[in-house]
Amino acid sequence: MKKKIGMVALMLFLTLPNFLKAQESDFGNWLIYFGNKKLDAKWNIHHEVQYRSYNAIDDLEQLLLRTGLGYTFNEGKNNVLLGYGYILSENYINNTDDKLSVNEHRIFQQFISTQNIGSVKLSHRYRFEQRFIEDDFKMRFRYFLSLNIPFKSTSPFYFSAYNELFLNTESAIFDRNRLYGGIGYQLSDNIRLEAGYMNQFFETSGRDQLNLMAFVTL
pLDDT tens figures, 109-153: 999 999 999 999 999 999 999 999 999 999 999 999 999 999 987
Please give the model's pTM, rounded to 2 decimal places: 0.86
Percent of the chain with pLDDT over 90: 70
pLDDT tens figures, 26-77: 568 899 999 999 999 999 999 999 999 988 778 899 999 999 999 999 999 9
**How far are the Cα atoms of 63, 68, 72, 172, 177 from residue 141, in angstroms, in the given order?**
21, 17, 22, 13, 12
The pLDDT score that the predictor gives to residue 27 is: 62
Q: Which of 186, 208, 182, 209 is nearest to 195 (CA)?
A: 182
Q: Which of 172, 184, 177, 107 is nearest to 145 (CA)?
A: 177
Which amino acid appears at position 70 of this protein? G
| DSSP E strand stretches across the chain | 28-38, 43-53, 60-73, 78-92, 99-117, 120-133, 136-150, 157-168, 174-186, 191-201, 206-217
